[in-house]
Amino acid sequence: MAGCLRIFTNSIPLSILPVLRPSSTPILPSLCRPGFLARKTSTANNHHIEYNWIRGVEKLEKYRPGGYHPINIGDVLNGRYHIADKLGFGGYSTVWLALDTRLKQYVAVKVNIADSLPRETTALKALSAPVISSSCAHPGPDSVPVFLDEFEVQGPNGRHMCYTVTPAQCSLREISFSRLFSIDVARALSYGIAQAVAYTHSRGYVHGDIHLSNVLLKLPSSFDGPSIKQFYEKYGEPETVPVTRCDGEPLPPNAPAKAAVPIFLGKYAEEVALSDVHPLLSDFGEAFSPASEHRLGQDCHTPLAFRAPEAKFEPRAPIAYPSDIWSLVTAIWEIMGMKAIFSTEFVPEDEIVAQHIDVLGPMPSEWWQRWKGRRQFFDEDGRPTESYRDNRWPPLQGSFEDGVQKWRRKMGEELGESEKAAFLDLMRRMLAFRPEERPTAEEVLRSEWMVKWALPDYKRR
């Protein structure tokens, strides 16, 4: 089995660059000079320590009071979880592959920065709870992580909340970068993710951060067989690099002696078979229940390329389930094609808004009047400025041809006219500017394209 183990957190991919093993990871020259006087932090009697940079690992300067907990391969957490390898990291946690010595199975252990709030565990517990009424049965529980355990660890940087879930393979972002899924796999993945969102909504939760970095593929059940020794024999020893300070001084207890590079087992989009399509919607760090928490548009942390426009234009209005529908459609578009419907590069927010108008047409008039940045791109009549004219994105149908169809045509998998019409109809309805005009997740599943094209491939898994 080829693949890569991942879970993701807080909108940031836990592994930034995939690293093949067993290759070495060099320590690149540091930007700080030997003997450089470290700048002070606000903490009394503590200096800000700078570390030599290591490719593919978390920011080592975050191993400080209030930050990451130092973990080494071979550690045992909570007297039970034997750390076998590293799965990844995010801005607020590190994630490790561990053998549960009590149950003899592998788990993903997420170790949060010190004193973080248990927001994600609250959502995962709710989604993992059994459904009491059979009338509420939903086919999607297997498409979200299974919450297993939670505990605390105390270390030199503070008290850290930890929890475990079943481990999973690569994110779709990693395995699809500059690559194309076969058409049957793409359709099945689209249906599976939509079903995961529908299930999440049916349990009263908005995910709040849907994009391909937060969609994983499940591991086969056979993964739990080997011991740690057998795991290393099959996948290779963990790759670790000594942590060193820029000033050459000894390491403090706040940092680990060695940094572990996240494991990468390497399965890419064109290698994914229909039988592999078991998507898992992950990272519920931004999830919330509208029934008990009012999340305002200004509090939305979804990356700009996938963020619903009401977050910008109605910043003091509550966001809810329709914001997930906008993010879901951007994910489906990327799965089906090679190019995202809106720019995934680091561009200003106003440029993304201009792309929305290019692709979808005029936005609601009150939003247009409220948009202070419009003069960079359009005149008062909505015509593109001379400086922007050559940088416009094509309308929806042209974007489909450029980002999806021409790549499918090269593979001999061009969407027929009937499927194309049904697909674009669904995309346009999900991309309605006004959130109340978007279909619900259940309505997405009942759409013509999902029922006639995506669902049959999903069933054939």
Show binding-site residues for ATP. 110
Which residue spans within 29-102 are E strands per DSSP? 76-77, 81-90, 93-100
Q: Where are the alpha helices (DSSP H) in 129-281?
A: 172-176, 183-202, 228-235
Annotated binding site: 110
**Residue 18 DSSP SS3:** coil
C-beta separation of 101 from 54 below 8 A: no
Report the helix count and the strand count for the chain, using DSSP H and E: 15, 11
Helix axes 321-336, 183-202, angle to 10 degrees: 170
C-beta separation of 70 from 160 below 8 A: no
C-beta separation of 110 from 162 below 8 A: yes
C-beta separation of 292 from 215 below 8 A: no
Element (H, E) at 122: helix 119-128
Neighbouring C-alpha atoms within 13 Å toward the C-beta of 116: 27
Q: Which letter does DSSP use for residue 276 in this model?
A: G
Prior bond of 22 cis (ω within 30°)? yes
DSSP secondary structure letters along 34-81: TT--PPB-SSTT-B---B--BTTS--GGG-STTSPPP--TT-EETTTE
Element (H, E) at 410: helix 406-410
Element (H, E) at 354: helix 349-360
What is the Cα 122 distance to its own chain's centre? 19
Residues in the chain: 461
